[in-house]
Structure 1
C-alpha cells in the first residue's frame, strides 16, 4: 500500500517530471513576444483597456488566443521542426527514433509542426501563469496560522473559526494542483510529440527508398566481388594446382600456368579497384573499366589455362551490344565458367552466344560426370546472382540438369530498361 503513493510522488516530482515542467516554462517564455504583440494590437481597437496591467481574466485569455495565431505562422518555417524536436528529446524523454530529424519539407509536415508549436505554447503559457501565481498565494495560505489571515480574505470567504485549519490545507491542495497539472500537461505533450513531430508518411517513404538504394548497392557490390574476384581466385587455384602437378615433367606448361596466374591476378586487382571505387565518397575512382563481351576471348584463355575445355560459338558485332547488357552478359558467362571449373570435374563446356532481334541469348552446357569434383560446402551465390542480373534487365534465366547435361540459359532484352 505504501508503494503506490511513493510511485505517484516519484512520477509527479521525479527528474522526468521536472524536465517536462522546464519544457512547459520554455513554451511560456516563447509565448511572451507573441502575447505582447497581440496585447498591443488589441489595445488599438480597445483604447480603454490597460495594456500593461490588464485586470480582466477574459481579456488575458483573449490575448492568449490571439497570440497563438502568429505563433502558428512562425512554426511554418522549416527549421522550427528540428528545433522543437531537439527540445522534446532533451526535456520530454521522447526517444530520438520517434522524432523527425530534418526540417519540414512538405506542407503537411509544416502544419503538424505549427499544431505542435501552438499546443506547446498554449500549455506552456497556462503552466507558466500557474507557476508564477499559485505558489506565492499557496505559501500565504499555508503560513496563515502563523502570520494571520490577510486583510479582507476572511471577510470575503466568511470562514469564521475554520480558517486556521482550512487555509494550510487549501494551500497544499493548490500546490498539488500545480504539480498535477504540470505532470498531466507534460505527459500530454510527450504523447503528442511523436504524432506531430515524428516522421510523416513521406518521411518514412523517403527513408524506405534510401534503405532500398543502400541494399541495392550492397547487393551489387556482393555480385561484383563474387563474380570477378571469386572467378579469379577459382581460376588461380586451379592454375596453381595444375602447375604444381606437372612442374617436373612439363616445365613449359607450368610456365604458361604461372603466366596465366599473373595475368588473372592483375585483372582481378583492376576489377577489385573498380568495385571498391563504388564505396568511395570522394568521387569516382581511377580504376580499370568494367569488362564487357568484347573481352570474352581473354576470359576464355584464362579459363583454358586453368585446365578447362571451352568450345565457344559467338557472333560478330559483340561491340554493338548495349554496354549495360554486354557487361551483365560478361559477368554471367564468367560465373558460368567458374561454376564449370569448380564443379564439372574438367568436363568440356560449350558456350553459345546468340544475338536475336530483341534479346541476347547466353547458353552454357557441360556433361555431368558421376563422381566428379564434389560441390563445395557453403557459397551457393552464383546461380542466384545470375538470376538477379537477368531480372534487373527484365530478362530470364534457367539452370538445371537434364539427361546428364547441366544447362544454363539466360536471355537479356537488348532494349529493356534496367530495374
Structure 2
C-alpha cells in the first residue's frame, strides 16, 4: 500500500510539474511577439521608439502593480482557480490585437493582458510548493524555472514564423488559442495533494489554508531580506527585458541582420537562460549549500562581464555574439527561479504567504520591466545603442551589490536567532 501511495505521489508530482511548466511557458507566447513586431509597428504605423517603449509599459505596469498589492490571490482562492482564469483572460485580451491599427487600442489590450498575467507566476509557485519538499528545492525550481526562458524562445520563434509567413498582424492569433487550451488543462489537472488523498512531506509549505496571513505592502517589505531580494530582482529583470524587447531591433538596425535572422538570433539569450536555470539550481544545491545568496551574487557579476564581452566583440561575427549572449542569458536568467521561487518559500517558513512573497518579489522586479521601455526608447532615440549596454552593465552590478547586502542581513538574522537560543539555554 505504501509503495502504491509513493508511486501515485511521484506520478502526480510529474503531472503538476509539467502542467505548471507549460502554463507559465505559454504566458510568453502572448508577451514576446511585441518585441518581434516593433520594427513593423514603427515602419507601417509610424510609431516612434518612445511610443514603442510605452507599449512595453502598458503590458508590464498592471503586471507589476497587481503582483505587489494583490499577490495573495493564489493564497486566498487557490492556485488552480486563479491560474486557469488568468490564462484564459490573457488570451482573450490578445486574440484581436492584429485587427487594429490604433495606438490607444494596442495599449488597452496590452494592459488587460498584463493584468491577467500578473497572477500566473505566484500561482504556479503556490501550486508547486504544495507538492514538493524543501530538499533539493533549488534544483527542482531551477529545472522548473526553465519554463521562463524556454517559453521566451518558443514565443519569439512562433512570432517570427507567423510574422514571416502571414505578417505581423497574425502573431498573437494562434498563441491566444494555445493559451486558452492550457488554461482549460490547468483547471482539470492542477490539484492539491489532500484533494487527491495523497500525503506530501513538505518542509516549507503549510497545508493549513485557514491560517492565511494577510500582509500589507509595508509588512512584506520589512520581512528580513525581502527588500534586498526584491531590489536584485528589479535589476535582473530590467536588464532581461531590455534584451527581450529591444535585442531583435538592435541586431536588425545596428548589426545589419534581417528581421527573421535578428529575431531568431535573439533567442540565444533565452536558450542560455534555459541552461542557466538548471545549472545554477544544481550548482547552488551542490556547492553553495547554505549559501544560496552568494551563488546568485556570483552569477549576476558574471552576467555583467558577459555584457562587457558582448560589447567588445560585437564586430567580430555571429560566433562571438552567440557565445556572449549564451553567457549573458545563463547568468542573468539563471537566478530567476531562486530569487522569486526558492527564497520566498524558505522565508515563508510554513506560513500560508508563499504566493504573497513570491508575487511581491516578482512584481517589484517587474517595475524594472516597466521602466526599461521608456528608458531604452529615450536612450536609443537621443543617444545610441552603446549607452544601452552601459546601462545594463551598471544595473547588473547594482543587483549583485544588493545580494551582498542580503547576505549580511541573513548573517545578522542568524546571529540573533543563535543569541536567543543561548538565552534559552
Q: TM-score over 0.5 for the alignment?
A: no
- State the structure with bigger RCO (CA 8 A, min sep 6), 1 or 2: 2
Structure with bigger gyration radius = 1
TM range (shorter): under 0.3
| Structure number having the greater helix percentage | 2
Please give the TM-score of this superposition, normalised by the length of structure 2.
0.22
Please give the TM-score of this superposition, normalised by the length of structure 1.
0.23
